[in-house]
Amino acid sequence: MPEICRVALVGCGKAKLKDHATARDLYTGNLFRAHLAEAEATTPHVYVVSALHGLVPLDEQVEPYDVALRGMRREERAAWGRQVVEALARRYPANTVELLVYAGRSYAEPLRDALAAGQLESWTLVEPLRGATQGARLRILAEASRMRVAARAPLRLPALEVEQPSGRRLYLFAVDGKQVPSFATVSRVRRTEGVLEGYQRPEVLAHVTAIREYMESAGALVPNAVVLAFDSRVRFEALPGEGEGARHGHLVIPRATAPDAPDAPGFIVDGQQRLAAVRDASVTAFPLACTGFVAETVGQQAEQFILVNSTKPLPKGLIHELLPSTTAALPAALERKRLPAQILARLNLDDGSSLRGLVITQTCPRSTGKTGGKHFSAVIKDTSLLSALEDSLADGTLYDLERTGAGVDAMVSRVSAWWAAVASTWPDAWARQPKESRLSHGAGVRALSLLMDAACHFLAQEGNATPIQGDFERELALVRDACAWTSGTWAFPSGTRRWNELQNTPKEVALLAQHLGAIYRERRAARQPARRARKVGTR
């Protein structure tokens, strides 16, 4: 199996020095500096990807410029992506390459498309911070930096040694749960040439999330002790004057060369899910009670492991509803969902919101659809709208609002105005169950949200940075007759599809979004000359 060559690509930033400098030093924005620090700390090969210059080595001199990928046409971004991938292919012609992209979607998508078109089958593209907002990225990267510089000195922990009738000794102590990966690892259950090895199951992510949510609360209490098995490198030093039986002293535990490394002196017998939750929890420290014993064989460890029990995790939807009520810094998995969850909650609960009561959540469950008058029951899945909001926060109109310092009120107002325009454009398709209207379906929700981003982009270019419902209605009128939400067929370039055949999969969402986007851009371009002529005539 060929060794993977890891290459980090750091997207350029708007903030720059006034004079030429190396690519490493030219860009001065906080997010660029954080992306670069993470890339250099974790990846052997690092480049800047410049909207103007393409692939740029860190030490190459670059003049300041004012070009952004988001301002380019789609074909220009595609050409840029091909240029960067071709430059990389020349530098790494015979390698299996993993590209780690520290940039927004406007950078990652052209690169991903270029990789696919270039038939580089052994190359992969990863976005380590995909979907995270700017603020979330900075917090995540700051925590990663803190973990890297953590001390590696042996731990010396106050402990109580208890000798049992069998002559075996137990060690009772407390330790910050975030430090455990530095000296203990998980013995994963596996088979090698038919022989069963290890004993631990994989992490149950939903279970871990549930525990982590609890640990991040103000009144968290975890009384159950974590059970750890140690090899002979761990030693107990009794205090002077201690006798037999139970003795006070210190447990000296050497650290591994890296978190969860195979040279760790400890193995987690019981408490894997709790420790994973502590590892990811957005708390500075979380001391845990621990019981340790020396066991050189996996069999001795497994004897204790079989007593482990598990609990039922919280539903994801409930976690999403709880997120807006939290204020502490969260790890990546939850941090990137907190702002979109807050916007979603406001859209679903605020008086005057066009989506009030329409989103299916744990506290607003699915009902029977349209009930008459202006009262509707929930018909849109929270996961669909949450994904749409995450996309916009990553690289759409909500990203622009966050970048300019606009608050949640402005974001909620923007999204509500858009969906109010959707409701007035297709009143017969509005607020109906997904099986009756693809407008309420995940594919429709996400595709229309992407169309909102495109409409806001064009309106902003014309000087309208604060569009209202009427502005959006004029934009949606361009695609009104192209939609088959409740009947008929979709006339896609690849062929026609019945109105209800669209599914909520990435491929189907992309198909619908690209179809509506292409029609919108074509018709908008066609009406531009007439609109400019009217403006001139009114002066």
pLDDT in tens, 123-132: 999 999 998 9
From the CA atom positions of the chain, what is the Rg in Å? 28
**The total number of residues written for the chain in this structure:** 539
pLDDT for 364: 73
Would you place residue 264 in the very low, low, confident or very high pLDDT band (cuts 50, 70, 90)? Answer: confident
Mean pLDDT on 376-390: 89
- The 8-class DSSP code of residue 217 comes to S
**Alpha-carbon gap, residue 42 to 45, rounded angstroms:** 9
DSSP secondary structure of 370-413: B-STT-B-B-EEHHHHHHHHHHHHHHSHHHHHHHTT--HHHHHH
- 170 or 202: whose pLDDT is higher? 170
- 332 or 381: whose pLDDT is higher? 381
pLDDT for 251: 96
Mean pLDDT on 441-460: 96
pLDDT for 330: 54
pLDDT for 149: 60
Range with the lowest mean pLDDT among 183-192, 349-358, 502-511?
Answer: 183-192
- For the chain, the average pLDDT equals 85
Q: Where are the chain's structural domains?
A: 5-151, 154-312, 322-527
pLDDT tens digits, one per residue of 164-201 = 888 889 999 999 999 998 898 876 433 344 333 443 44
Mean pLDDT on 299-323: 55
DSSP secondary structure of 110-147: HHHHHHHHTT-TT-EEE-TTTT--HHHHHHHHHHHHHH
This model's pTM is above 0.75: no
**Alpha-carbon gap, residue 155 to 93, rounded angstroms:** 46
Handedness of CA 496, 501, 502, 505 (dihedral sign): negative
Distances (CA, A) of 477 to 277, 421, 424, 444, 520: 49, 10, 10, 16, 9
User: Both tokens of residue 17?
Assistant: 């020095």
pLDDT tens digits, one per residue of 399-450 = 999 999 999 999 999 999 999 999 999 999 999 999 999 999 999 999 999 9
User: Both tokens of residue 99?
Assistant: 């590209």
pLDDT tens digits, one per residue of 51-88 = 999 999 999 999 999 999 988 999 999 999 999 999 99
CATH no., domain 5-151: 3.40.50
Would you place residue 361 in the very low, low, confident or very high pLDDT band (cuts 50, 70, 90)? Answer: confident
pLDDT tens digits, one per residue of 514-537 = 999 999 999 999 886 544 434 434
pLDDT for 306: 41
- 533 or 248: whose pLDDT is higher? 248
